[in-house]
Amino acid sequence: MPLLELNQVCKRFGDAAVLHDVNLAVEEGEFVAIIGYSGSGKTTLVSILAGLLAPDSGTARFDGCPISGPGPERGLVFQNYSLLPWLTVEENVALAVDQLHPDWSAGERSACTDRYVSMVHLTAARDKRPAELSGGMRQRVSVARTLAMNPRVLLLDEPLSALDALTRATLQDEIARLRREQNQTVVLITNDPDEALLLADRVIPLTRGPGATLGPGIPIPLPHPRDRRTLPHDPAFQRLRREVIASLLSLGSRATPTLTRDLILPDLEPEDLGRPRSWSSRSGPLRRQERRTVTLSTPADAE
C-alpha cells in the first residue's frame, strides 16, 4: 500500500480549474520529485498533500486513511520558509519539538532541539532571529523545524527556488544526505529538472495549467549518493535528462493558452466633412451586427 496517495483529485478556485484528475502514489522510503512550470498548481498540489486544502473531488489518503487536515506526520517545508520572525532559530525548532513531545522533560526537549539544529549545521546561529540569517540559513531552519516533527513524509514545496545557485547546491546535498541517513520518504516540488534528477528516485512532470494533471512518472535508477560533479557526464543521466525535458515540453504543448474575445470591427467613416451626420440616432457601433467571437491561441512550438 502506498504511503501517500491521490486518487482522481480535482481542485478549482472559482472558475479556474487548477488541478484536474491528479493521481499519485508515493511508496514508503521513496523520493519523488514533481516538476512543473511555475503557476501550474504545484503549491496547490502540495497543500492538498499536506492537508491545508481539501480537494473538490477525488480522495487524498495517507497511510490508507483519508487526509482530513494538516498534521505533523506530513511535514511541510514552505517555499518562503515561514519562520516566526519573533522567535530565534532554537525557539522556532523548539516549537515543533515541544508540540510533539509535551510529556518530555525540559532537558530532553532542549537536547532534541539541539540535535535538529546541529543536523542542519546551525548550532552557531541558534540564538539568532530569522531576520539576521541568510536565505539559505532560513530554509535550513525551516527544514530542521519540519524534521523535528518527525514526519513520515517530508513535503518540500520548492524549498530552494528562492536561493542563489551556490547555496542551492549546498542545500541539495544536505537534503540528499538527510534523506540517506533517515531513509525519509520525500515529495519534492521543483521547477528545476537537474535538481529533480540529482535527488529523486522518480520524476513526475506536472502539466501546464489550467487543469494541470500529473504525467507519467519517469524512474531515475541512478545509484545514491549521486555526485553532482560526475553526474552530468553519465550517459544514463543525460538520457534521463532528455527524457524529462522532452516530457515536460510535450505536456506543456498539449495545453496551449487560449483567449476568447468578442471582436467588433472599428467603425470608420470616410473623411468627408460635407457628409451629413446624425450622432443622436446612433446607439452603438454600426458594425455591431458583424460581431465575431474569436479564439486566439499560442502556437505550441512558440513556447
Question: Is 50 one of the binding residues for another protein (CB under 8 A)?
Answer: yes
User: By the 8 A CB rule, do 220 and 197 touch?
Assistant: yes
Quick check: helix, strand or coil at residue 135? Answer: helix
Residue-level length of the chain: 303
- The window from 81-89, 111-119, 177-185, 203-211 that contacts another protein (CB under 8 A) reads 81-89
Task: Tell me which residue of 149, 188, 226 sits closest to 26, measured CA to CA.
Answer: 188
* HEC assignment per residue over 166-183: HHHHHHHHHHHHHHHHHC
Q: Which of 2, 70, 135, 252 is close enough to bind another protein by CB under 8 A?
A: 70
Instruction: Select 17 or 52, whichever has its Cβ closest to another protein.
Output: 52
Instruction: Select 74 or 208, whichever has its Cβ closest to another protein.
Output: 74
Q: Which of 16, 59, 66, 86 is close enough to bind another protein by CB under 8 A?
A: 86
Calpha distance 183→176 (Å, rounded): 10
Question: Is 286 one of the binding residues for another protein (CB under 8 A)?
Answer: no
User: By the 8 A CB rule, do 139 and 171 touch?
Assistant: yes
- Residue 155's DSSP bridge partners are 76, 187
Q: What is the DSSP string of 84-123?
A: -TTS-HHHHHHHHHHHH-TTS-HHHHHHHHHHHHHHTT-G
Instruction: Select 151 or 205, whichever has its Cβ closest to another protein.
Output: 151
Tally of CB atoms within 10 A around 285: 13
- Range 134-163, binding another protein (CB under 8 A): 149
- The window from 14-22, 60-68, 95-103, 263-271 that contacts another protein (CB under 8 A) reads 95-103
Instruction: Select 75 or 217, whichever has its Cβ closest to another protein.
Output: 75
Question: Is 68 one of the binding residues for another protein (CB under 8 A)?
Answer: no
Question: Is 84 one of the binding residues for another protein (CB under 8 A)?
Answer: yes
With the C-alpha atoms ordered 97, 84, 167, 73, is the resulting torsion angle positive or negative?
A: positive
Q: Which of 66, 85, 225, 232 is close enough to bind another protein by CB under 8 A?
A: 85
Question: Is 95 one of the binding residues for another protein (CB under 8 A)?
Answer: yes
Tally of CB atoms within 10 A around 95: 17
Instruction: Select 35 or 45, whichever has its Cβ closest to another protein.
Output: 45
Question: Is 13 one of the binding residues for another protein (CB under 8 A)?
Answer: no
* Backbone angles phi and psi of 22, in degrees to 5: -95, 125
Question: Is 127 one of the binding residues for another protein (CB under 8 A)?
Answer: no
Q: Which of 25, 58, 82, 249 is close enough to bind another protein by CB under 8 A?
A: 82
Instruction: Select 76 or 203, whichever has its Cβ closest to another protein.
Output: 76
User: By the 8 A CB rule, do 208 and 37 touch?
Assistant: yes
Q: Which of 52, 162, 222, 264 is close enough to bind another protein by CB under 8 A?
A: 52
Nearest approach in angstroms of CB 101 to another protein is 12
Q: Give the helix/strand (H/E) hosting 142.
A: helix 135-148
Nearest approach in angstroms of CB 89 to another protein is 15
Instruction: Select 149 or 240, whichever has its Cβ closest to another protein.
Output: 149
Q: What is the dihedral of CA 136, 142, 144, 148, to 10 degrees?
A: 180
Query: What are the residues binding another protein (CB under 8 A)?
Result: 50, 52, 69-72, 74-76, 78, 80, 82, 84-86, 95-96, 99, 129, 149
